[in-house]
Structure 1
Amino acid sequence: MIGHIGLILGLALLIVLALRGVNILLAVLLSVLVIGLTNGMAFQEIFLDYFPFGASGAFTFAGNFLLLFLCGALFGRIMAASHAAQGVAMGITRRLGAKRALLIAMLVCALLTYGGVVVFVVIFTMYPIGVTLMREANIPRRLYAAAIALGAGTFTMTALPGTPSIHNVIAARSLGTDLFAGGWLGLVAGVLMAVLGMWYLERQWRLATAQGEGYEATPKDEQMAALAPSSDQSLPSLRKSILPIVLVLGMIAIPRLLLMSGVQAEWIQFALTQPVLWASFALLSGTIFCYLLFPPVRKNFVRSAGQGADDALLPLINTAAVIGFGGVVIQTAGFHGFAAWLLELPLPPLVSVFLSANLISGITASASGGLQIFMSSLAPAYLEAGVAPELLHRIANLAAGGLDSLPHSGAVIALFTLMGLTHKEAYRDIFVVTVLVPLMAALVVVALAMLFFG
């Protein structure tokens, strides 16, 4: 009984500390200490065995995915240093106009993250530009933040096939699938998330305007606006700026397209069976292409590359810490009882996948952390029950992107901190576009999968 109480207390402590802005690594270490000691684990078992090592260990995860995080962050930083990321943002803004600022924010964030630019680089790219857009269109800050979250943290993260996101790679590596597994189901979910999310945000904008709510400047806005490209600043064209993203996605897609055409080659099999290495290679190729294509980045390439390496560390450590938290949790009797309860529920297997992946991601407040724990602890049981690996890949990915954005989510807290928002001001809109809408899209996909695949 005390072990079950300790598990609940540890989870509650993690949530409370995260909401209070405590560093996620410190919050995790304190939480696993509570869970471990109340479940009869020795101190050395907690911090030298279960937390760092094993299938869900922090160091195990960091070792397996360091290269992907590094190449993704490097590509994102070089895209920013070359002004290509700003070129994408300003190019779309000029074509659509500031009055479509919410759509612009969603499209730019989606395009950049789908191409492999890490979320934090995307946020820092969009905020300076967003100050001008919010001011010109009189958009409440909370809605602009929600548009960024919709574009950067939903369908490009878990739904769209081929994305080099960590979530897609975790599923592919664990199940032996490729990054395009369950592709048409992912496309359906992606369209639903984008359309429903934008419908909600546009509706909220109209309501806010009718109630006299609009943009309110802050001192930080002026500082961030100074970082935005000025109207007379020379930026690469949209067509040129988007080429590195096309290259990254093309390199990921070509092996599968060639295989579908009947072409057999050893490198194609390598690309399809090594998603971490091939996605990393695609991102690194995009970085080199940026260097060759955009002269501005060559002047400070070494410094920018070093900043990219630094950019990789914090997301990697935070994600690994959450996964290490799961590595301790899955050793407890309470978790084993919880997992057995989930598997024994009288539900169709795909519905059970949806429920279990969502709950684990909600507990950890991390789609990648929850997905890694799900893959190491529950996925084998679903495979044995007859769920096809391709379906398990896509549906688990979609489900992990549902409850991951609860108030204690590190990404949510980081976005609010950057934009000067509180949970009271802005979380409702974030909840709708990053929790409710993805849950609805995932349920539709589950229904379609059951209809067409039984």
Structure 2
Amino acid sequence: MTAVDVFGYAGLLVALVALIALAMRGVDIIFAALFSSLIVIISNGLPLATALNDYFAFGKLGAFTFAGSFFLLFAAGAMFGRTMGDSQAATSIAQALSAKLGARHALTITVLATGLLTYGGIVVFVVIFAVYPLGIKLIQQANIPKRLFCGALALGAGTFTLTALPGTPSIHNVISSVNLGTSLFAGAGYGLLAGAIMLLVGLWYLERQRVAAAAAGESFVAGPMDSKIVGNDQTLHTPAWGLALLPLVAVIGLIMLPRLFKGSFEPQSLLGQSLMFANSQPLLWPSLALMAGTALALLLFPSVRSKPLQTIGDGTRDSIMPLINTAAVIGFGGVVVQTAGFGAFSQGLLNLDMPPLLSMFLSVSTLSAITGSASGGLQIFMSSMADNYLALGIPVETLHRIATIASGGFDSLPHCGAVVAMLTITGLSHRQAYKDVAVVTVVIPVVATLVCLAIAAAV
């Protein structure tokens, strides 16, 4: 190994450490990604103009290539989320769960409410904002430490509904579908198993921690941003929970419709052609389903029906920062994959004397850890490494689902943009809340992935 190689490898390591350290200090993730990319560029001798204009910005894995491809999905999800939030439909669903289960089960209610909303296609950031006010009231009533509420938000909004459950219109599921030509329901059995492990073990962990906290005298402490919420006893004017569910049911139903009726109609008929179109558009069809759900919500709920353009406009604006933050991290990955060190790493994993499924797991996990993003790591893997693993004999549907599940493990390290945003919203520090977040979003999903790997290897 030459001195140049050592310098390049060191640069990759320093860049990754810098990205994590800056994110943990609350530095904007876009700046952190650009700064870390410059470290990689300089230490690995990449041409500056090409690296910034092509590798980072507009190349195959460029930030704006990703943003352009996925803008419609992010925008549609944010519009739907804003409409469900402003209409109080999301709150109505959470209140119905609370009435059924009781405030004592505030953590379970938070997980189920956020899980239902994210499975319906609402982006994580919007779901956290929508559920947070009611969740704070519930944990105040049950006297549960706020750090565990943060863990419940992370479990419901950032694990099983994003990477495991088949059919979800999440960006992760769509990335695999677009790159592999599979449906959103690919590898459904593995997804259901992994989703059940994440949900049930995650709930068990949170409940165990709740009991331990109560025994230790740990209680709810309101943060500076919570005073208006916990001090407000006015009842929100919410729609009936059954009515509130209709837009979510419509979105999920429309996404499932093409698969359920695939081949049921003559290809020449209008319905047949419509189903063929839907099945051939894994990115566009979920976006259209989310738009249809938004339209239905605007028709059903008077509080947003009176100002539809403002609600949709606010929702579109909500999508910009999550999209750009994700794109910036992917741009960092786009620079990393152009280095000789990454090429050697990729080839080394492929050449290791281990089963292809295990090698694939390590590849996806490492990329997600480097980028701090499940969608970023998965996009890089699908674009640069997936074909190699298909050539090694991994069935395409198995690769779709297990790679997607694997992307949602080591992505949630401290520099993950979603983790940083959630801690900011909840007013907690990494020191206060990250341990519980790490267990439910890193440890348990990794265990679920390994269980699926073992079963896939035995089949």
TM-score between the two structures when normalised by the length of structure 1 = 0.97
> 2-side partners of 1:132 and 1:8: how far apart?
43
Match of 2:375 among 361, 368, 374: 368
What displacement does 1:223 show?
2.3
For 1:436, the equivalent position in structure 2 comes to 443
> Is the contact between residue 329 and residue 335 of structure 1 (CA under 8 Å) also seen in structure 2?
yes
For 2:206, the equivalent position in structure 1 comes to 201
CA distances 1:431-454 after superposition (whole Å, capped 9, x unpaired)? 1100011001111111112222xx
Would you say 1:156 and 2:161 are equivalent positions? yes
What displacement does 1:300 show?
2.0
Does the residue aligned with 2:57 lie in a helix, a strand or coil? coil
What displacement does 1:262 show?
7.2
Match of 1:230 among 214, 229, 234: 234
Letter in 2 for 1:93: S
> 2-side partners of 1:218 and 1:38: how far apart?
43
Alignment of 1:109-120 (within 5 A): 109-120=114-125
> 2-side partners of 1:286 and 1:260: how far apart?
25
Compare 191-200 and 419-428 and name the one that shifted more.
419-428
> Is the contact between residue 247 and residue 297 of structure 2 (CA under 8 Å) also seen in structure 1?
yes
Does the residue aligned with 1:51 lie in a helix, a strand or coil? helix
> 1-side partners of 2:36 and 2:395: how far apart?
35
> 1-side partners of 2:250 and 2:426: how far apart?
32
Letter in 1 for 2:319: A
Match of 2:225 among 220, 228, 242: 220
Match of 1:55 among 57, 60, 65: 60
CA distances 1:32-72 after superposition (whole Å, capped 9, x unpaired)? 11111221122211211111122211111111111101101
For 2:328, the equivalent position in structure 1 comes to 321
For 2:304, the equivalent position in structure 1 comes to 297
What displacement does 1:257 show?
0.8
For 1:352, the equivalent position in structure 2 comes to 359
What displacement does 1:397 show?
0.4
> 1-side partners of 2:164 and 2:273: how far apart?
28
> Is the contact between residue 129 and residue 229 of structure 1 (CA under 8 Å) also seen in structure 2?
no
> Is the contact between residue 405 and residue 435 of structure 1 (CA under 8 Å) also seen in structure 2?
yes
For 1:20, the equivalent position in structure 2 comes to 25
Letter in 2 for 1:170: I
Letter in 1 for 2:374: A
> Is the contact between residue 88 and residue 237 of structure 2 (CA under 8 Å) also seen in structure 1?
no
For 2:452, the equivalent position in structure 1 comes to 445
CA distances 1:175-196 after superposition (whole Å, capped 9, x unpaired)? 0001000011101110110000
For 2:188, the equivalent position in structure 1 comes to 183
> 2-side partners of 1:219 and 1:431: how far apart?
24
Q: How many residues align?
A: 450
Does the residue aligned with 2:58 lie in a helix, a strand or coil? coil
> Is the contact between residue 12 and residue 336 of structure 2 (CA under 8 Å) also seen in structure 1?
yes
Would you say 1:244 and 2:247 are equivalent positions? yes
For 2:72, the equivalent position in structure 1 comes to 67
Would you say 1:271 and 2:281 are equivalent positions? no
> Is the contact between residue 119 and residue 152 of structure 1 (CA under 8 Å) also seen in structure 2?
yes
Compare 165-174 and 5-14 and name the one that shifted more.
5-14
> Is the contact between residue 92 and residue 238 of structure 1 (CA under 8 Å) also seen in structure 2?
no
Letter in 1 for 2:349: L
Does the residue aligned with 1:387 lie in a helix, a strand or coil? coil
> 2-side partners of 1:267 and 1:416: how far apart?
43
For 2:109, the equivalent position in structure 1 comes to 104
Would you say 1:9 and 2:14 are equivalent positions? yes
> 1-side partners of 2:331 and 2:406: how far apart?
21
> Is the contact between residue 402 and residue 439 of structure 1 (CA under 8 Å) also seen in structure 2?
yes
Quote the sequence identity (%): 53
> 2-side partners of 1:250 and 1:263: how far apart?
21
**5+ unaligned residues in a row in structure 2: which ranges?**
1-5
For 1:174, the equivalent position in structure 2 comes to 179
Does the residue aligned with 1:52 lie in a helix, a strand or coil? helix
Does the residue aligned with 1:259 lie in a helix, a strand or coil? coil
For 2:422, the equivalent position in structure 1 comes to 415
* Runs of 4+ in structure 1 over 6 Å off: none
For 2:257, the equivalent position in structure 1 comes to 254
> 2-side partners of 1:84 and 1:71: how far apart?
17
Alignment of 1:124-163 (within 5 A): 124-163=129-168
RMSD: 1.4
> Is the contact between residue 413 and residue 438 of structure 2 (CA under 8 Å) also seen in structure 1?
yes
**5+ unaligned residues in a row in structure 1: which ranges?**
none
> 2-side partners of 1:263 and 1:105: how far apart?
44
> 2-side partners of 1:173 and 1:357: how far apart?
17
Does the residue aligned with 1:60 lie in a helix, a strand or coil? helix
> Is the contact between residue 140 and residue 230 of structure 2 (CA under 8 Å) also seen in structure 1?
no
What displacement does 1:348 show?
1.2
Does the residue aligned with 1:275 lie in a helix, a strand or coil? coil
> 2-side partners of 1:414 and 1:204: how far apart?
23
Does the residue aligned with 1:196 lie in a helix, a strand or coil? helix
For 2:3, the equivalent position in structure 1 comes to none
